[in-house]
Structure 1
Amino acid sequence: MGGLVTGCGSDDADSGSKKTSGSTPTASAAAAAAAAAPSKTASGDHASTSPGDKLTDDQAERKALVPKVKVFYDKALTTATDAVPDSKPVSVELQSAANGTPWWDADVAKADGSEFTVRVDAVSGKAEKPQADADEDADDKRQLAALLGKAEVTPQQAATVATDRTKGTVSSVELDDTDQGATVWSVDVISPKDWSKTTYDIDATSKKVLREEVDRD
């Protein structure tokens, strides 16, 4: 669900550049059609979309999935780092199973850049066994370790910057770098007003907003 829902937080925030780690397959939009009535979002706000409004497939998918989340992005990251000793967060992304159940795809890494994915149930908070990135080579590890070393801002701090600008639910947070060489946290926030997604690139050293892009599809 990278482009549709993508990172989630209770009151906090897709990167335009390359993703640090692999993503799990996106959710089917089939479950979206069932969500017709306004529902309560993870941040406690109610959607303002009226029954007569037409939602895009992506918006409908977000509307169907986000209100089901009980365990948010920050808790999922904590659970993932606890599952991999001496690790730091790299990314977290909201996903959906075929039956519409939400879960988090959380990536963490150790100091040498060794990366692991932990799947966390977004309802129960239960974590599956960490899986090492089998495709990661020595160069990948060095690059990731260097990226982590440059990040002075935490993903939670970056998410707060994003949600201060756009009220909604954080569906993705990802450590990345831009074409200009800046290290950023890319944060996605889903608004309960129209189920649009806003992406922010937050400088990982200064918390400055480097990019803001609204996806209303």
Structure 2
Amino acid sequence: MDTKSDEIPSRRDRPPLFRGTALVCVAAAAGALLTGCADDTGGEAARSGAAEAAQVAATSPTPSADANLTGDQRERKELVPKAKTGYEQALGAAAGAVPHSKPVSVELKGPPDSPRWEAEVATDDGTAHTVSVDAVDGKAGKERAKDQDSDDKRELADLLKKATVTPQQAAQTATGKTKGTVTAVELDDTDGGTPKWSVDVVTTDDWNKTTFDIDATDRKILREHVDRD
């Protein structure tokens, strides 16, 4: 009996193998569960961060196209669309304010909130008058006589007599070459004394200004210059 008791240990004295194994399994399962939760949390955070970044990108303001425009281009973009009256109407209104006069020049000017056409007309003897025409309603203001001496009048009268091409015809020649809005027309002379019309055309896709010098006797284009400033 004593020998048997020494050879076979009691249940109470046996090492707790099964309890240790169970604890290891429980710990492993808990670790796996925590790992799974961590993976889910990390994935959810990543998805949330991506969604937030996409939302910020969608709502962030895009760079303005005006940032690429020069100062002059920006001024044209602000001014030209505000003019509801074209150069032809402005010249007609100015000529109507001075009896028996012919158009000499017209130019669109600002500011954008009150655009106007500054026109010049002259009678056959070369006496010139300036007239401001509202670029919105087309109404002409009071005419003002220009300060001229006898030579100025004679030279202008000579140009008007030689110019057989009208400003409207010159503008049609210019816009036939470059589509856009006419913002200025002016009668002048070449170095050889031949009259010419200088016509400014603004293209509304890039707000550049192209100046055409057009022979006032045969409508030939003498010069073309693009102002990208």
Quickly name the TM-score band, shorter chain normalised: 0.7 to 0.9
Amino acid at match of 2:143: P
CA distance in 2, matches of 1:51, 1:209: 33
CA distance in 2, matches of 1:52, 1:198: 20
Q: Which runs of 5+ in 1 are unaligned?
A: 1-49
Amino acid at match of 1:127: A
Q: Does 1:209 align with 2:229?
A: no
Match of 1:80 among 94, 99, 122: 94
Report the number of matched residues: 166
1:41-84 deviation line (CA, Å, top 9, x unaligned): xxxxxxxxx72751000000000000001001000000011110
Q: Which has the larger radius of gyration?
A: 2
Q: Does 1:89 align with 2:103?
A: yes
CA distance in 1, matches of 2:113, 2:69: 18
SS in 1 for 2:173: helix
> In the alignment, what sits opposite 1:57?
71
1:110–1:194 CA distance, 2 compared to 1 (3 A): same
CA distance in 1, matches of 2:133, 2:66: 35
Amino acid at match of 1:128: G
Q: Does 1:142 align with 2:154?
A: yes
CA distance in 2, matches of 1:142, 1:178: 17
Contact 1:173–1:188 (CA<8 Å) still a contact in 2? yes
1:52–1:121 CA distance, 2 compared to 1 (3 A): closer
CA distance in 1, matches of 2:172, 2:180: 11
CA distance in 2, matches of 1:53, 1:167: 24
SS in 1 for 2:122: strand
Q: Once the 2 structures are TM-superposed, how far is the Cα of residue 124 of structure 1 from its aligned partner? A: 1.1
Q: Does 1:125 align with 2:138?
A: yes
1:166–1:139 CA distance, 2 compared to 1 (3 A): same
Q: Once the 2 structures are TM-superposed, how far is the Cα of residue 100 of structure 1 from its aligned partner? A: 3.4
1:132-177 deviation line (CA, Å, top 9, x unaligned): 01x2011100000000000000000000000011110000000000
Match of 1:112 among 117, 125, 139: 125
Q: Does 1:174 align with 2:168?
A: no
Q: Which runs of 5+ in 2 are unaligned?
A: 1-63
Match of 1:69 among 61, 70, 83: 83
CA RMSD after TM alignment: 1.2
CA distance in 2, matches of 1:214, 1:162: 12
Runs of 4+ in 1 over 3 A off after TM superposition: none
CA distance in 2, matches of 1:65, 1:81: 24
Identity %: 62
- Larger RCO (CA under 8 A, 6+ residues apart): 1
Q: TM-score, normalised by structure 2?
A: 0.71
